[in-house]
Structure 1
C-alpha cells in the first residue's frame, strides 16, 4: 500500500473521528482502506456500492472538509468499490458506479466528485418512489417486556432475552434462538428484545424481519443483479432479528446468503436473534453448517403456559383494556383454554365483544357458551412433525428411525402410517409430505396411502394401529 495515501487518510480519519459518533465511525470508516494517492487525488477502497452510496448520502460534507483541510481545494476523492466475493470465486470484483451501466468489471477505479448528492440507496425496505434512507427497525412497540408476562413456561427465554437486551452481542447467547409452538409469544419476545435494545442503545441499528420477507428480498436482489448490495445491507445491522427461520427450509440460495451474513455479524460482535417453531435438532432441509451456527448460542423453548400464568395473562389483558371481570370467570376461561396465549386472549376478546354487543352481563354461562364455540372453532391443525412424533412414540422408535432408508417391515409400516395421517389431517401436498417424512417423493406417499387403505381392510392388527393412532391424533 502507498504510504502517502495511508498518511493522508490517517489524518482525515483523525478529524472525522472527532466529529461523528463512535458507532458510526466504526461502521462506516474503519472498513475503508486507502489504496493510492496521486495528482492530489486520494483513492479509497470501500466494500460495496451500497457502502459508497451511504457515505455519499450521509458523510459527503465531512469527507470534503477533511480532505480539503488535508490537501486543499483541488483535492479529489476516488472510490474503489471492491467487495469480497463470498460465493467461491477467487477474484474479488468491483461494480461500476454509473447507474446507466451496472455491469461488473475487475479493478475498476471510479472517480466520483464529492458533490454527488443523490445516489440511489439500496435499502430493501425502501418503497420505490419514496425517499427514505433511514433504516427503520420494523419493530412493533406493542410487543414489549412489560406485557410479556413471566411464568415457568417462558422464564428461560424471557430472562435470556433481557440479558441480550442489556448487552447485545456481548453475551454467550449469540445467536439467541427462541422456539416453540404457535401462539406462545415467540414474535412478541423477539420484538420486546429489539425494542429494549433501541431504548438502551439508540445508536445501534436494530432490524426485525420475517424469514419469508428476507427470502423474497434475496430473490428480488438476484433478479435485479444487486445481490452484493443486499448482502452488505444486512452486514451493517447491529442487531438482526429473523422471525420463523424454519421458513428457510429447502431454500438453498437464501440459506447460503444468510450463512455469509450470519458469519460476518457474529465475527463482528453483532447480535443475531432467531425464532422458530421447532428446535434446531428438529429442523428439516436446513444446511448442516447453518444448523451448527444456530446451536452456537442459546436455544430457549417457549412452552404452553400453566394455569397460574394463563390467569395472569388474562388479568393483564383486561387491565390494559380497562375491563373488569369476575375472578371465577377469568379462572374458568384459563382452565379451559390451555393451548396458547393467542387463543387465550382471543377467547377473552370474544367474551367482552358478546357482552358489549348483545348487552349481556358477563356470567359463567356466557363464558361457557363462548369458550365452547371458541375452542371448537380454533382447534389447531395437526402438523406433520407432530404426526411423526405420535406415530414414532406409538411404535416405540425415534423419528430418525421412522425417516430412515431401512426396509424393515415394521418401520416401513410406521412410515406409511405417518404419510397416511399427514395426508388426512394436513393441507400439505404429497410432495411436501414426502419431503418431510424421510425425503421421499410424492409417488411414495401415494403408494403409502393406498397400502394403508388396503391393509386396514385385510389385516386386523394393522386396522388396530390405524384406529389407535386416529384416536391419539383426533382433534
Structure 2
C-alpha cells in the first residue's frame, strides 16, 4: 500500500468504514460489544497493519478480547488478506486549566485533512510526561491542607492514636522519623534509574545467584549468559537488577550505549515510528538505529508484548541483530520464558539459548537485612525487635516490607512517639490478614465511595483538588495491596504512564507522615478493603 500519508489515512478510513458495516450487522455481537465501535477511529494503514485509535483502556480491552475475533474476520473479508489492528490510546492532554470546549463539553481535537482526529506533538508530550511536584502541588493542593484544625472535626483516628488532643499532637511538628521513598532518578538518554544500583540490592539465598549473574553481565564477563532472562513475581527486585546492570556497565565503560525500556514504552515507540514513517521522516529507520546500535539492551515486563504480533516481529529482528553482534541483552518477566503467552516459539527458543534465572521471595534473614538498609538509607533508627516483627509478618515481597516500615514510622511521626514493638503491632494489626485477594477495581470503587466520587472520576482525566487526591490515594493502595506492576496500575487508571503512578505513590507516602488526615484516609480505606474482600 502507498506510503503517502494522505493515502495511508484515506485507506484506513475506507477499510474501517466497510469493516464497521460488517461488524454492526453481525448477529454474534451483543449491543454492548457494538457500543464500543463508536469509540474507534482509524488512523492509518501500514502494510497489513491498521492503526485504530481509542480514547480509553476499556475500549482497548474490548477490542483485544470480545471484539478481537470478529474484527480480524471483518478485516480479512473487507481487505482480502490477513490484517492486524494496532490499538493506540489517544487522550486529551491533562492541563491544570481546561481548554475551550465545544457545545458537547468535549475538548477540541486537531483534525487532519481527511477529517480524522489526530494528536498533536504537544498533546503527546504532555500525556507521556509525569506531572511535576509543582504541578501536583497546585493541582491537588492549591492551598496547604489545614494543620491547626479542631480535633473533633478530624476524621476518627485508629485506636493507637491518642483519644484526645494533647500538647504533643494538637499541632504537628517536624516528624522525628522521616521515611522517604527512594525516588526514581531517570537518566533522559538511557532511561535508567540512577538510584538503582548493586550496592542498594540486598542479596540473600532467594536472589544471590541472579545478582551474581547480573553483575557478571554488567562487567562484560558474562558472554555465555546472553541473553539473560530474569523472572519472578512482582516486587522482588527484577527491575532493580536491570537498572543496576545498566548503571554498573556505564561505570565500567562510559562510552557504552545502554538503553532500559519496558514493554509499554517499546510498543508505543514502535507504533509512533510506524505512524510517522508514512510522512517521509524515516522514523522506522530511526527506531531501528536507536535499538540496534546499543551495546546493552534491558527490557522490562516483556510478558506484556504477548499477542502483539507486529511489535513482537520487530522485537525479534532487533533481538537477532543485537545477538549476532554479541551485544548484551537482558529481559525481565513475571514468568519463565517457556511459559510466556502469545510468543512465537522462535522467540522463546532465542530466550532459552542464554541463561534463565529466577528471583524468589526473600527469606526472613534477607527481609530483616532489607529493612535495615531501608532504615539506614533514611537515617532512621529502628529497634531490632521491630524489624523482626515486620519481617516475620510480611513475607511476599519487598514492596510489602517497605510499606509496613513506612506505616510504622508515619504513626511515630504523627504522634511524636518512639518506634516500639508495641506501636508496630498496633499499627500493623489490620494488615496481617493473609490469603486475601484485592482487585484494583475494588480499590477504585472503595476510594470513590469514600471520597463521594464515581468510578469514572478516579480513572478519568479531571484534575481538580479532591479528585486528584482520591486518585493518588487509590494508586498508592493499588501499589501497596496488589502485586501489579507500575505499568499495570497505570493502565487501570485510564492508561496513565508508570512514572505518574510512582509519583502518586511517593507523594502519598510522604504526606502520610506529615498530615494526620492523609494517614487516616489510607488506614481507613485499607481496613475497609480488607473487610470487604473477605466477604
Q: Give the TM-score normalised by the residue count of structure 2.
A: 0.46
Measured against aligned partners, the alpha-carbon deviations of 1:57-87 in whole angstroms (never above 9, x if no partner) come to: xxxxxxxxxxxxxxxxxxxxxxxxxxxxxxx
Q: Which residue of 2 aligns with 1:208?
A: 260
> Per-residue deviation at 1:136?
1.0
Equivalent of residue 208 in structure 2, options 113, 135, 155: 155
> Per-residue deviation at 1:320?
1.0
Q: Which residue of 2 aligns with 1:145?
A: 198
Equivalent of residue 246 in structure 1, options 303, 310, 316: 303
Q: Does 1:197 align with 2:254?
A: no
C-alpha contact 2:230 2:356 (8 A) present in aligned 1: yes
> Per-residue deviation at 1:354?
1.2
Equivalent of residue 284 in structure 2, options 227, 249, 257: 227
Q: Which residue of 2 aligns with 1:346?
A: 403
Larger Rg: 1
C-alpha contact 1:382 1:426 (8 A) present in aligned 2: no
Residue 279 to residue 381, structure 1, CA distance change in 2 (3 Å)? farther
Equivalent of residue 184 in structure 1, options 227, 230, 236: 236
Residue 378 to residue 370, structure 1, CA distance change in 2 (3 Å)? farther
Q: Give the TM-score normalised by the residue count of structure 1.
A: 0.51
C-alpha contact 2:234 2:483 (8 A) present in aligned 1: no
Q: Does 1:281 align with 2:338?
A: yes
C-alpha contact 1:381 1:426 (8 A) present in aligned 2: no
> Per-residue deviation at 1:314?
0.6
> Per-residue deviation at 1:135?
7.5
C-alpha contact 1:265 1:271 (8 A) present in aligned 2: yes
Q: SS of 1:232's equivalent? A: helix
> Per-residue deviation at 1:376?
5.0
Residues 411-450 of structure 1 mapped to structure 2, 5 A cutoff? none
Residue 426 to residue 193, structure 1, CA distance change in 2 (3 Å)? closer
Residue 379 to residue 162, structure 1, CA distance change in 2 (3 Å)? farther
Residues 455-466 of structure 1 mapped to structure 2, 5 A cutoff? none
Q: SS of 1:224's equivalent? A: helix
C-alpha contact 1:244 1:275 (8 A) present in aligned 2: yes
What residue ranges of structure 1 are gaps of 5+ in the alignment?
A: 1-123, 129-133, 384-424, 428-472
Residues 6-25 of structure 1 mapped to structure 2, 5 A cutoff? none
Question: Which stretch has the larger CA shift, 211-220 or 365-374?
Answer: 365-374
Q: Which residue of 2 aligns with 1:32?
A: none
> Per-residue deviation at 1:213?
0.6
Q: Does 1:237 align with 2:294?
A: yes
User: What CA distance in whole angstroms lies between the structure 2 residues aligned with 1:314 and 1:294?
Assistant: 34
Q: SS of 2:298's equivalent? A: strand
Q: SS of 1:172's equivalent? A: helix
C-alpha contact 1:143 1:191 (8 A) present in aligned 2: yes
Q: Which residue of 1 aligns with 2:220?
A: 167
User: What CA distance in whole angstroms lies between the structure 1 residues aligned with 2:247 and 2:429?
Assistant: 37
Q: Does 1:292 align with 2:349?
A: yes
Q: How many residues align?
A: 258
C-alpha contact 1:153 1:303 (8 A) present in aligned 2: yes
User: What CA distance in whole angstroms lies between the structure 1 residues aligned with 2:231 and 2:483?
Assistant: 22
Q: Which residue of 1 aligns with 2:312?
A: 255
C-alpha contact 1:336 1:371 (8 A) present in aligned 2: no
Residue 257 to residue 183, structure 1, CA distance change in 2 (3 Å)? same
What residue ranges of structure 2 are gaps of 5+ in the alignment?
A: 1-124, 130-186, 278-282, 441-481, 485-532
> Per-residue deviation at 1:361?
2.3
> Per-residue deviation at 1:373?
3.0
Residue 135 to residue 362, structure 1, CA distance change in 2 (3 Å)? closer
Residue 377 to residue 220, structure 1, CA distance change in 2 (3 Å)? farther
Residue 379 to residue 238, structure 1, CA distance change in 2 (3 Å)? farther
